[in-house]
Amino acid sequence: MTSRKVVGMAAALVGLLAVGCGTGVQDEIIRVSRQNNSGTYHYFREEVLGKAREFKSGSLDMSGSKDVVELVARTPGAVGYSGMGYATDEVKMLEVSKDSGEPVGPTVENASSGDYPLARPLYIYVLGEPTGAVKHYIDWIKSHEGQDIVAEIGYVPVNAITPEQSDSPPEATITISGSDTMVNLTQAWAETYGQKFAQVRPEVAGGGSGVGIAKLIDGTVEMANASREMKPEEREKAEANSGEKVVEITVALDALAVYVHKENPLDSISLEELAEIFGDGGTIKVWTQVTGWPIDVQ
């Protein structure tokens, strides 16, 4: 019987680990990314790595925006990207510079002025110019009331309009699906709006930008949320299926923050450095290459 050997091996293993090599210094850069079909993943890839470059394999791919921040908080050598609304006290947001310009912090002002390089629009897509209850709902989202909710949830509002709105939209159920990033925002909208105009019921489902757009193409939802632009072939399909034009409405901005552990001495990073860290074939693998020294962990 080999169980004796197995016990021995296990004991040796545990002993080896317990002795360990804990030096308290972390130099390896741990990349925290998102799963490969999230809108955030695609946006970051295009914006930071460039149209023709893939992510380097071996990053820790989280299924949610919140998970990225939580993992970075627990991992001293980590760097990750996620919506700035998810920031906590446990992590640090880096200032980001582009084309050797001045580094800019991820704030609401910098994002709406366009100075912060990683701000992306969040879209709602509908087929054909909206009418009736759908138009009423979208106008309300773009109003001051709707945009205040955007700021409350932690995203960046777009210029609010003062729509001419009747207080009695036609009775309807609006089906909405799409982006996971936007799910909390859309639910907050739907809740406040539903309380104010009880005859309209917005029904919100997540699933991701790709799923929302696919459902819009199939005609199973009236509204798709997306944290990325609709691809040309998706537009073609939708227009061929429905005979209507795809209408894109920008309802908010989301600044993607670059998060590091709170004990990381780094304060700013350039897009070029990020591309070398996250991109396929990238040359930056350890913190010494960015900061000049490894991270000292207490």
Partner 1 sequence: MSSNPKAIASDFGHKRISVSRIWHKLGDAAELPMVWLIHICGWSAILFVLAIFAFVFREAAPMLFGQLNLVEFFTSEKWYPDSVIEPQYGILALLAGTGAVTVTSMVFAVPIGLGAAVFISEFCGGKVKETLKIVIEVLAAIPSVVWGFIGVVVVGPLIIQTTGAAVGVNVLNASIILALMSVPVIVSVGEDSLKAVPDSYREAAISLGASRWEVVYKVLFPAARNGLLAAVLLGVGRAIGETMAVLLCTGHAVKIPHSLLDPARTLTATIASELGEAVRGEGHYRVLFVIGVVLFAVTFLVNLTADLVVKGIRGQQHD
The angle formed by the CA atoms of residues 93, 95 and 98, to the nearest 5 degrees, is: 140
At 54, is the secondary structure helix, strand, or coil? coil
Residue with tokens 């360990």: 20
Q: Indicate whether 208 belongs to the interface with partner 1 (CB under 8 A).
A: yes
Nearer to partner 1 among residue 47 and residue 95 (C-beta)? 47
* Pair 30, 79: CB distance under 8 Å: yes
Residue nearer to partner 1 on the CB measure, 110 or 227: 227
Cβ at position 107, least distance to partner 1 in Å: 29
Phi, psi of 260, rounded to the nearest 5 degrees: -135, 170
By CB atoms closer than 10 A (0-12, 13-18, 19+), residue 243 is: exposed
CB atoms within 10 A of CB 2: 8
Chain-centre distance for alpha carbon 232: 22
Of residues 57 and 166, the one with the C-beta less far from partner 1: 57
Q: Which is nearer to partner 1, 95 or 234 (CB)?
A: 234
Q: Strands of the chain (E only): list them.
A: 25-26, 30-34, 60-62, 78-83, 91-97, 119-127, 172-178, 200-207, 223-226, 246-261, 268-270, 295-296
Contact 235, 246 (CB under 8 A): yes
Residue 294 within binding range of partner 1, rule CB under 8 A: no
State yes or no: residue 161 binds partner 1 (CB under 8 A): no
- In whole angstroms, the minimum distance from the beta carbon of 240 to partner 1 comes to 16
d(CA 138, CA 184): 17
CB 284 within 8 A of CB 276: yes
Give, as ranges, the residues between 96 and 125 that touch partner 1 (CB under 8 A). Answer: none
**Interaction of residue 239 with partner 1, rule CB under 8 A:** no
Tell the smallest beta-carbon distance from residue 110 to partner 1 (Å): 28
- Interface with partner 1 (CB under 8 A), residue total 48
| Shortest Cβ 120–partner 1 spacing (Å) | 16
60 vs 172 by CB, closer to partner 1: 60
* Footprint (CB under 8 A) of partner 1, residues 17-76: 17-18, 20-24, 26, 28, 30, 35-38, 42, 51-52, 54-55, 57-63, 70-71, 74-76
Q: Name the site residues for partner 1 (rule: CB under 8 A).
A: 1, 3, 6-7, 9-10, 13, 17-18, 20-24, 26, 28, 30, 35-38, 42, 51-52, 54-55, 57-63, 70-71, 74-78, 180, 207-211, 214, 231
